[in-house]
Amino acid sequence: MSKVLETRLEIDLGALETNFNLLKSYLSPKTKMMGVVKASAYGTDSIIIGKHLVKLGAQHLAVAYIDEGVRLRKAGVEVPILVFYPQLEEIQNLVGYQLTPSVYTHHFLEGLCQELKHHQVDSVGIHIKINTGLNRLGFELTELDSILEHIHSEKKIKVAGVFSHLAASGNKDEVEFTKAQISKFEEARSYFKTHLNYTFKSHICNSSGILNFPEAEFDMVRAGIALYGYGNNPTEHKMLKAVASLKTVIAQLRTIQKGDSVGYERKFKAEKTSKIATLPLGYADGISRIFGNGKAHVLINGKKAPIVGNVCMDTLMINVTGIDCEEGDEVEVFGKNHTVLDFDIEQQTIPYEVITRISQRVTRVLV
Considering the domain architecture, whether residues 59 and 104 belong to the same structural domain is answered as yes
Residue 7 within any structural domain of the chain: no
Decide if 36 contacts 81 (C-beta within 8 A).
Answer: no
Rg (CA), the chain: 24
Q: How far is CA 49 from CA 2, 16, 22, 72, 228, in A?
A: 26, 8, 17, 10, 10
Q: Nearest-CA neighbor of 242 among 357, 336, 334?
A: 336
Q: How far apart are alpha carbons 277 and 57 in whole angstroms? A: 44
Considering the domain architecture, whether residues 227 and 309 belong to the same structural domain is answered as no
Considering the domain architecture, whether residues 102 and 161 belong to the same structural domain is answered as yes
Burial of 253 (0-12, 13-18, 19+ CB in 10 A): middle
In CATH, what number is assigned to the domain containing residue 353? 2.40.37.10
Decide if 249 contacts 279 (C-beta within 8 A).
Answer: yes
Helix intervals (H) in 75-162: 91-96, 106-116, 144-153
Question: Tell me: the pLDDT tens digits for 154-211?
Answer: 889 999 999 999 999 999 999 999 999 999 999 999 999 999 999 999 999 999 999 9
Q: What percent of the chain has pLDDT over 90?
A: 90
Burial of 16 (0-12, 13-18, 19+ CB in 10 A): buried
Considering the domain architecture, whether residues 147 and 204 belong to the same structural domain is answered as yes
Considering the domain architecture, whether residues 206 and 177 belong to the same structural domain is answered as yes
Domain boundary, last residue among 239, 264, 279: 239
Residue 107 within any structural domain of the chain: yes
- What pLDDT score was predicted for residue 1? 37
Considering the domain architecture, whether residues 121 and 226 belong to the same structural domain is answered as yes
Is 220 a known ligand-binding residue? no
Domain boundary, last residue among 192, 210, 239: 239
Which residues span the domain enclosing 348?
Answer: 244-366
pTM score: 0.93
pLDDT band, residue 2 (cuts 50/70/90): very low
Quick check: is 65 catalytic? no
Residues 6+ apart with CB under 8 A from 157: 109, 112, 113, 116, 123, 124, 126, 150, 151
User: Looking at the 3D structure of the chain, how many domains does it have?
Assistant: 2
Measured over all CA atoms, what is the biggest interatomic distance in the chain, rounded to whole angstroms? 78
Where residue 255 falls (left for φ over 0; alpha for ψ -120 to 50; beta otherwise) is beta
pLDDT band, residue 5 (cuts 50/70/90): low
Residues 6+ apart with CB under 8 A from 341: 237, 347, 351
Residue 6 within any structural domain of the chain: no
Indicate the average pLDDT of the chain. 95
pLDDT at 222 over 50: yes
Q: How far apart are alpha carbons 245 and 11 in whole angstroms? A: 7
pLDDT at 148 over 80: yes
pLDDT at 123 over 90: no
pLDDT band, residue 3 (cuts 50/70/90): very low
- SS3 state at 323: coil
Domain boundary, last residue among 204, 221, 239: 239
Helices (H) and strands (E) in the chain, counts: 13, 19
Quick check: is 38 catalytic? yes
Question: Tell me: the pLDDT tens digits for 68-101?
Answer: 999 999 999 999 999 999 999 999 999 999 999 9
Q: How far is CA 303 from CA 59, 259, 306, in A?
A: 42, 25, 10
- What pLDDT score was predicted for residue 237? 83
Residue 194 within any structural domain of the chain: yes
Cα 141 off chain centre by: 28
Is 33 a known ligand-binding residue? no
- What pLDDT score was predicted for residue 234? 80
Minimum mean pLDDT range among 291-300, 310-319, 346-355:
346-355
- What pLDDT score was predicted for residue 122? 84
Considering the domain architecture, whether residues 92 and 141 belong to the same structural domain is answered as yes
Instruction: Name the active-site residue from 38, 129, 201, 295.
Output: 38
Instruction: Name the active-site residue from 55, 264, 269, 303.
Output: 264
Minimum mean pLDDT range among 24-33, 47-56, 110-119:
110-119
Q: What percent of the chain has pLDDT over 70?
A: 99
Question: Tell me: the pLDDT tens digits for 244-292?
Answer: 999 999 999 999 999 999 999 999 999 999 999 999 999 999 999 999 9
Considering the domain architecture, whether residues 177 and 133 belong to the same structural domain is answered as yes
Q: How far apart are alpha carbons 189 and 185 in whole angstroms? A: 6
Considering the domain architecture, whether residues 304 and 188 belong to the same structural domain is answered as no
Q: How far apart are alpha carbons 230 and 206 in whole angstroms? A: 13
Give the other-Cβ count within 10 Å of 213's Cβ.
21
In CATH, what number is assigned to the domain containing residue 98? 3.20.20.10
Considering the domain architecture, whether residues 223 and 298 belong to the same structural domain is answered as no
Which DSSP category does 282 fall into?
-
Considering the domain architecture, whether residues 308 and 331 belong to the same structural domain is answered as yes
Considering the domain architecture, whether residues 179 and 254 belong to the same structural domain is answered as no
